[in-house]
Structure 1
Amino acid sequence: MNWIAVKSIYIYEMTRFFRTLTQSFISPVLSTSLYFVVFGAAIGSRIQEVEGVSYASFIVPGLIMLSVITQGISNASFGIYFPKFIGTIFEMLSAPVSFLEIVMGYVGAAASKALFIGLVILGTAYLFVDFEIQHPFAMVGFLVLTCISFSLMGFIIGIWAGSFEQLQLVPLLIITPLVFLGGSFYSISMLPPVWQIISHFNPVVYLISGFRWSFFGAADVPIGLSLLAIAGFTALCLSVIWWIFKTGWRIRQ
């Protein structure tokens, strides 16, 4: 394992993150704060409790997941797309660096950024509502796994994208709707029976449900299914990335 290569890629990506601190950090935190004001105050005054938890507290895990998923995807996709766009990826591919080391560098940096933002938003939430985390270790575990899995997905999107417009296509048209329809701001049990069944085909439901369980001890789906879903999604992303580097799809073409 070439740890120097992994470290170099990781440090370069983290340095870029802190160079664009306003866009990378302040913007998502400010947006999430507005969600707390709009949903927590406006809607929360009309919906007192959901599953025995105040509505303002209930949406905290969903808002953290929303930010972590979108940031993990955007950071990883741009991180690998930009070297491909300017052509420096060919220098990396010709260097004595394996695909695993490249993935560890880019995905590790993207996951670290998403995790950092998620923890900051968690701290920001305490400024608006009072809540306790019943299972803190499980919360950190779900948060880290989500950061890694969706950073892997962002890496795939960055390889696939042929333009900056395509780079935003999947997050805007697919990921964001799935997150909003995945129980970020409501419980699946509040939906009509037909829509409850349909919602179980949304993979994000299992992530948000498991993450919310770590906060309040209540979940829309069994915790075991949530863990199985995120493990399966991570394995799928790793398999796709392995195939991409094996075939050179969208890299050497």
Structure 2
Amino acid sequence: MNWYAVRAIYRFEMARTFRTLTQSIASPVISTSLYFVVFGAAIGSRMGDIDGISYGAFIIPGLIMLSLLNESISNSAFGIYMPKWSGTIYELLSAPVSSLEVVMGYVGAAASKSVLLGLLILATARLFVPYSIAHPFWMLCFLLLTALTFSLFGFIIGLWADNFQKLQIVPLMVVTPLTFLGGAFYSINMLPPLWQKIALFNPVVYLISGFRWSFYGVADVNVGISVAAILGFLALCLGAVWWIFRTGWKLKT
């Protein structure tokens, strides 16, 4: 394992984040804070509890997951797309660096940035809404697994995209709607029976449900199913990345 190469890619990607702190960190934190102000303080004070949890506290896991999914995908996709766009990816492919080391560098940096952002949003939420974390270990596990999985997914999107517009198609038109419809602002048990069954086809439901369970010990679906869902998607993304590097799809053309 060429750890020097992994560290070089990782440090380069992390340095890019700290050069653009306003866009990479401050903007998502401020945007999420506005959700806390509007939904947590203004609207939440007029709504009843959900499963014995105040509305402002109830939406915290969903809002963190919303930012985590979008930032994981965007950071990783942009990180690998830029070498493709500038042509420097051929230097990377010809260097004595394996595909595993390339993925570890880019995906590791994207996941690190997303986890850092998630923790910052969690700390910011304390300024607006009181909350508790029933299972801190599992909260960190869900945070890390989600960031890693969707950073891998973003890596695949970055390889697939051939222009800057395509980088935003999946986060804006797929992931964000699925998150809003996945119980970020409500419990799916509040839906009519038919829509509860339809909601179970939304994969983001399992992520938000498991993450919320780690906070308050309540979940819309079984926690074991949530863990299995995210591990299954992680395995799918790993298989897709392995196939891409094995065949050279979108890398050598």
TM-score of the aligned structures, taking structure 1 as reference length: 0.99
The separation in 2 between residues aligned to 1:60 and 1:140, in whole angstroms, is 15
Q: For residues 75-224 of structure 1, what are the structure 2 equivalents within 5 Å?
A: 75-224=75-224
The separation in 2 between residues aligned to 1:72 and 1:185, in whole angstroms, is 21
The separation in 2 between residues aligned to 1:149 and 1:218, in whole angstroms, is 23
> What's the offset of the Cα at 1:12?
0.1
Q: Secondary structure at the match of 1:39?
A: helix
For residue 241 of structure 1, what is the aligned residue in structure 2? 241
Q: For residues 63-78 of structure 1, what are the structure 2 equivalents within 5 Å?
A: 63-78=63-78
The separation in 2 between residues aligned to 1:236 and 1:178, in whole angstroms, is 19
The separation in 2 between residues aligned to 1:168 and 1:67, in whole angstroms, is 14
The separation in 2 between residues aligned to 1:170 and 1:67, in whole angstroms, is 14
The separation in 2 between residues aligned to 1:207 and 1:137, in whole angstroms, is 16
The separation in 1 between residues aligned to 2:50 and 2:110, in whole angstroms, is 33
Give ranges in structure 2 of 5+ residues lacking alignment: none
The separation in 2 between residues aligned to 1:106 and 1:192, in whole angstroms, is 42
For residue 62 of structure 1, what is the aligned residue in structure 2? 62
Structure 1 segments of 4 or more deviating over 6 A? Answer: none
The separation in 2 between residues aligned to 1:192 and 1:45, in whole angstroms, is 25
Give ranges in structure 1 of 5+ residues lacking alignment: none
Q: Does 1:38 align with 2:41?
A: no
> What's the offset of the Cα at 1:46?
2.7
The separation in 1 between residues aligned to 2:219 and 2:22, in whole angstroms, is 35
> What's the offset of the Cα at 1:47?
1.6
The separation in 1 between residues aligned to 2:172 and 2:119, in whole angstroms, is 24
TM-score of the aligned structures, taking structure 2 as reference length: 0.99
The separation in 2 between residues aligned to 1:97 and 1:149, in whole angstroms, is 22
Q: C-alpha deviations, 1:45-99, integer Å up to 9, x for none?
A: 2322011100000000001111111110000000000000000001000111111
Corresponding letter in the other structure for 1:20: T
The separation in 1 between residues aligned to 2:22 and 2:71, in whole angstroms, is 14
The separation in 1 between residues aligned to 2:122 and 2:42, in whole angstroms, is 20
Q: Does 1:49 align with 2:78?
A: no
Q: How many residues align?
A: 253
The separation in 1 between residues aligned to 2:137 and 2:34, in whole angstroms, is 28
Q: Secondary structure at the match of 2:45?
A: coil
Deviates most, 78-87 or 42-51: 42-51
The separation in 2 between residues aligned to 1:44 and 1:132, in whole angstroms, is 17
Q: Secondary structure at the match of 1:44?
A: helix
Corresponding letter in the other structure for 1:37: V
For residue 25 of structure 2, what is the aligned residue in structure 1? 25
> What's the offset of the Cα at 1:43?
2.2
Q: Does 1:5 align with 2:5?
A: yes
The separation in 2 between residues aligned to 1:6 and 1:90, in whole angstroms, is 17
The separation in 2 between residues aligned to 1:180 and 1:245, in whole angstroms, is 33
> What's the offset of the Cα at 1:212?
0.2
Deviates most, 36-45 or 172-181: 36-45
> What's the offset of the Cα at 1:187?
0.3
Corresponding letter in the other structure for 1:249: W
